[in-house]
Amino acid sequence: MLQPTLVPKRQLPRFGFHTHTELFNGRAAMLGFIALLAVEVNLGHGLLVWP
Protein backbone atom coordinates (compact mmCIF):
# COMPACT_ATOMS: atom_id res chain seq x y z
CA MET A 1 0.00 0.00 0.00
CA LEU A 2 1.31 3.43 -0.90
CA GLN A 3 1.76 6.02 1.84
CA PRO A 4 1.48 9.75 1.10
CA THR A 5 4.73 11.68 1.31
CA LEU A 6 3.06 14.97 2.26
CA VAL A 7 0.32 15.15 4.88
CA PRO A 8 -1.69 18.40 4.68
CA LYS A 9 -2.12 20.45 7.87
CA ARG A 10 -5.68 21.27 8.83
CA GLN A 11 -6.31 24.95 9.46
CA LEU A 12 -8.93 25.96 12.00
CA PRO A 13 -11.71 28.23 10.72
CA ARG A 14 -11.49 31.90 11.73
CA PHE A 15 -15.16 32.58 12.50
CA GLY A 16 -18.52 30.91 12.99
CA PHE A 17 -20.02 28.26 15.26
CA HIS A 18 -17.37 25.61 15.79
CA THR A 19 -16.72 23.06 18.49
CA HIS A 20 -13.67 24.76 19.98
CA THR A 21 -15.33 28.19 20.17
CA GLU A 22 -18.51 26.77 21.68
CA LEU A 23 -16.49 24.92 24.35
CA PHE A 24 -14.58 28.10 25.19
CA ASN A 25 -17.78 30.17 25.43
CA GLY A 26 -19.45 27.56 27.63
CA ARG A 27 -16.50 27.41 29.99
CA ALA A 28 -16.35 31.22 30.21
CA ALA A 29 -20.08 31.32 31.00
CA MET A 30 -19.67 28.72 33.76
CA LEU A 31 -16.79 30.69 35.31
CA GLY A 32 -18.85 33.89 35.16
CA PHE A 33 -21.82 32.21 36.83
CA ILE A 34 -19.64 30.84 39.65
CA ALA A 35 -18.05 34.29 40.09
CA LEU A 36 -21.53 35.86 40.30
CA LEU A 37 -22.56 33.36 42.96
CA ALA A 38 -19.39 34.08 44.94
CA VAL A 39 -20.06 37.83 44.83
CA GLU A 40 -23.67 37.32 45.96
CA VAL A 41 -22.55 35.15 48.88
CA ASN A 42 -19.94 37.74 49.85
CA LEU A 43 -22.42 40.66 49.67
CA GLY A 44 -25.25 38.80 51.36
CA HIS A 45 -27.77 39.78 48.67
CA GLY A 46 -28.23 39.56 44.94
CA LEU A 47 -26.14 41.69 42.61
CA LEU A 48 -29.16 42.91 40.66
CA VAL A 49 -31.26 44.29 43.51
CA TRP A 50 -34.06 46.76 42.77
CA PRO A 51 -33.71 49.70 45.23
Please enumerate, as own/partner, the contacts of 32-37 that have beta carbons within 8 Å and a separation of 24 or more: none
- DSSP character for 13? P
In the predicted structure, residue 38 carries a pLDDT above the cut 90: yes
Cα–Cα distance measured from residue 4 to residue 2, given in angstroms and rounded to the nearest whole number = 7
DSSP string spanning 8-27?
PPPPPPSSSS-HHHHHHHHH
* pLDDT tens digits, one per residue of 1-15: 888 888 888 887 777
Average pLDDT, the chain: 86
Q: What is the structure's pLDDT at 7? A: 84
